[in-house]
Amino acid sequence: MIRERISNAWQMLMGNKGRSILTMLGIIVGIASVITVVSVGEGAKDAVLGQFDQVGASSLLLSVSSGQAADSDYLNIDDVEAVREQIPDLRFVSAEYQLIGRTDRYGDSTMVFITGIDQDWMRISNLTLTEGRQFSLPELDRSVPVMIMEEETAKRLYPGRSPVGETIEINLRGILMEAEVVGVGYSVVSQMTSFADMEMDRPMIVYIPLSTAIDFSGGEARFSRIIAMADSPDHLQATGEQMVNVLENRHGNQGENLYSVTETAQLLEQADMVASIFTNFIAIVAAISLLVGGIGVMNIMLVSVTERTREIGLRKALGATMNDIMWQFLFESSILTFVGGVLGIISGMLFSRVIGYYFGFAPIIVLQTVVIAVLFSTAIGLFFGLYPARKAAKLSPIDALRRE
């Protein structure tokens, strides 16, 4: 009997296609926005968190508070060595050393972001090569002028060909360096930089050996950050405190609170939380639009009851009970919202793909959301269809039938 009711309701809806589609529109838009918001939100969260993830859950970032620190409080290469030697729990330790230079190689003076790297840095930041080779140990030790070009930069400046083997002249406040490109690759750092600077006139991003970078800057390198990776994510807090102790001892600034340590796991949690709050908030807004769509369905069904008094009267004359009439209207409104829900899901999926494509990440369609969306929209049909359906069922067939 349910199949009969469904096919009968479907027939009546198809008999007035234009109106049925217009009625569904509110539900389609509501469901589509819920699906879009949730899947784009999940996708964006995944993209951001994925970058943190590559850094690893056992990473630590120590930075010098730039406000109160004097020149002598900043870090040098010996500090890095001291931390490495005195804290055996740390597997990798490296300075974060970045310089900004310029090059005239590509027309007008182009900005160059230079990161000085060593073996540990490559491991912590997960430097992955797509062309050429890594720096060799002698190159890292003896400050050889070689560079690895960041992948996006290489694609932009050398479209369709490889920069490996090219020599590029970089000007750092008057000091010139000619460095040979030995490889192309990407790291967590380069991805974050390219993400942040999307709107800017894009700089070149390159990596050179840390020793080369220090020599290049005149040998007096001062760092504001040390990155480190522990063997395991346990005791990270204690390890961080040890790092601060070692550095305070070396610089004689105990208790001044100049060095602070962040665990990447914490950053991860915070980012996750912010993303969830944001997604939930927009999802609530979208759910409200869905509710409005449901009220729209109720409105149309009410109008339809008035318009179809004659049909209702006729059906009663032909043997329909009050229940038959009520179920007919309930099925009609539920089919409207169910089909609207399915169409909404399809358009939401398409729409989130477009958005994801535009912003450069893949949206994540959560099955749970899809199922809940369909159930919810069908429930809306039942709920908002109930009042019109009862009204239809109670309608007296007499006046309806005589009405001309």
Partner 1 sequence: MSNARESEITLQKAVITMRDLTKVYRSETIEYPALRGIDLTINEGEFVSIMGPSGSGKTTLMNIIGLLDNLTGGYYELQGIDSSDLSDASSAALRNRTIGFIFQSFNLLPQMNLIDNVALPMLYAGIPAKERRERAGEALKHVGLDKWSKHRPTEISGGQQQRVAVARAMVMRPSILLADEPTGNLDSLAAEAVLKLFHELHDIGVTLIIITHDITVAHHADRLIELFDGKISNDSLLTSHEGRKAGIS
Choice between 75 and 320, CB closer to partner 1: 320
Give SS3 for 183.
strand
Q: How far is the CB of 334 from partner 1 (least distance, A)?
A: 18
Angle at which helices 309-317 and 264-307 pack, to 10 degrees? Answer: 70
DSSP 324-391: HHHHHHHHHHHHHHHHHHHHHHHHHHHHHHHHHHHHTS-----HHHHHHHHHHHHHHHHHHHHHHHHH
Beta-bridge partners for 62: 226, 261
Q: Least CB distance from residue 303 to partner 1, whole Å? A: 16
Nearer to partner 1, 4 or 178 (CB): 4
> What is residue 160's DSSP assignment?
T
Q: How far is the CB of 306 from partner 1 (least distance, A)?
A: 17
CB 333 to partner 1: min, Å: 16
CB of 11 to partner 1, least distance (A): 6
Distance of closest approach, residue 299 Cβ to partner 1, in angstroms? 21
Query: How near is the Cβ of 314 to partner 1 at its closest, in Å?
Result: 5
Confirm if 261 and 244 have CB atoms less than 8 A apart. yes
Residue 88, class by beta-carbon neighbours within 10 Å (0-12 exposed, 13-18 middle, 19+ buried)? exposed
Of 16 and 299, the one with the shorter C-beta distance to partner 1 is 16
* Residues of the shown chain interacting with partner 1 in the complex, contacts defined by CB under 8 A: 1, 4, 8, 11-12, 14-16, 310-311, 314-324, 396-398, 401-402, 404
Min separation Cβ 341 and partner 1, Å = 23
CA distances from 363 to 50, 188, 191, 349 (A): 13, 20, 18, 9
Cα separation, 301 vs 307, whole angstroms:
10
* Single-letter code of the amino acid located at 53: D
Q: Which is nearer to partner 1, 249 or 396 (CB)?
A: 396
Helix (H, G, I), strand (E, B) or coil at 257: coil
Helices within 99-187 (DSSP H only): 119-125, 137-141, 151-157
Distance CA 195, CA 47 (A): 11
Nearer to partner 1, 12 or 28 (CB): 12
Q: How much is the CA Rg of the chain, to the nearest whole Å?
A: 33
Q: 350: Cβ–Cβ under 8 A, 6 or more apart, which residues?
A: none
CB of 9 or CB of 146, closer to partner 1: 9
Least distance from C-beta 394 to partner 1, angstroms?
A: 10
Complex with partner 1: residue 177 or 393, whichever CB lies closer: 393
How far apart, in Å, are the Cα atoms of 392 and each of 230, 322, 325, 378? 71, 8, 7, 20
- Closest to partner 1 by CB, 38 or 326: 326
Nearer Cβ to partner 1 (257/321): 321
Nearer CB in complex with partner 1: 11/368: 11
Q: DSSP character for 238?
A: H
Residue 320: CB minimum distance to partner 1, A: 5
What whole-number distance in Å separates Cα of residue 176 and Cα of residue 71? Answer: 26
